[in-house]
Amino acid sequence: MNSVFLRAPIGAYHAGQHLDIKLTAADGYAAQRSYSIASAPGAPRVELVIERLEDGEVSPYFFEVAQAGDTLDVRGPIGGHFVWRPEDGGPLLLIAAGSGIAPLLSIVRHWAEGSSETPVTLLYSARTWDDLAFSPELLALEERAPGFRLVATTTRGRRHRATDYERRLDRALVHEVLAKSPLSPRLVYVCGSTAFVEVATTAVVDEGVVPSRVRTERFGGTG
């Protein structure tokens, strides 16, 4: 995955929103993709997290072509359901897979900048430990912020800490994570592939979370 920083007059945005970026070829062909904002509201630059898909139409551009100073066609911010504001409260359970970390990272960063005592648990799934984007930042936050807890699960690699897991996310894993939390989540945010979101959402609802308190964001593989 790669971070792209934009200096664009997109206006104020909320943690959890996304932008639409459109690329237009010389022959007029255009392709548009949505990318979640990873930076906290009010940050001097807007940060997007982009995962390269080899057969994608848009994502390879940011790895092979894009240069500092390029102009992009950007629309947004977009989205009103998958957002978190400090007044929304908590406790929060954030569940991410792969590049689905982006909007949840925005929420975590926004939370960390405030004085909120709302407990936050981030359950983050990736293939290997090295695939856990922003892990140094998240681990550092866990060290200095008692209200933040990171739980990583790797599906194809060894865990690095005794508190993490080496398995795919399922109801049993969600049950263990919730059992170790001092308070039940008031709000749950899930972001990842469609299949991942379905599994995670079903798991938290089966564990007693009211469906109306679960907010989801999913992405496809069209990059």
Could you read off the pLDDT of 152-171 as tens digits, one per residue?
999 998 888 999 999 999 99
- pLDDT confidence of 4, banded at 50, 70, 90? low
What are the pLDDT digits (tens) for 66-102? 788 778 888 889 998 999 999 999 999 999 998 899 9
pLDDT of amino acid 65: 82
- pLDDT confidence of 28, banded at 50, 70, 90? confident
202/177 Cα distance (integer angstroms) = 15
Mean pLDDT of the chain: 89
Highest mean pLDDT among 5-14, 44-53, 171-180: 171-180
- pLDDT confidence of 188, banded at 50, 70, 90? very high
Q: Residue 133: helix, strand or coil by DSSP?
A: coil
pLDDT of amino acid 187: 97
- pLDDT confidence of 52, banded at 50, 70, 90? confident
Average pLDDT over residues 48-61: 79
pLDDT of amino acid 5: 65
Compute CA distances 22 → 12, 29, 31, 139, whole Å: 20, 10, 6, 34
Q: Is the pLDDT of residue 3 over 80?
A: no
**Straight-line distance from the first to the last Cα atom of the chain, in angstroms, rounded to the nearest whole number:** 12
DSSP single-letter state for residue 128:
S
What are the pLDDT digits (tens) for 194-220? 999 999 999 999 999 999 999 999 876
Domains present along the chain, CATH in parentheses = 2-78 (2.40.30.10), 86-219 (3.40.50.80)
pLDDT of amino acid 15: 96
Strands of the chain, DSSP E: 2-6, 18-24, 30-36, 46-50, 73-78, 92-97, 120-126, 148-154, 187-193, 214-219
112/217 Cα distance (integer angstroms) = 22
What are the pLDDT digits (tens) for 94-144? 999 988 999 999 999 999 998 677 899 999 999 999 999 999 999 999 999
Q: Is the pLDDT of residue 190 over 90?
A: yes
pLDDT of amino acid 71: 80
Q: Is the pLDDT of residue 9 over 90?
A: no
Q: Is the pLDDT of residue 221 over 60?
A: no
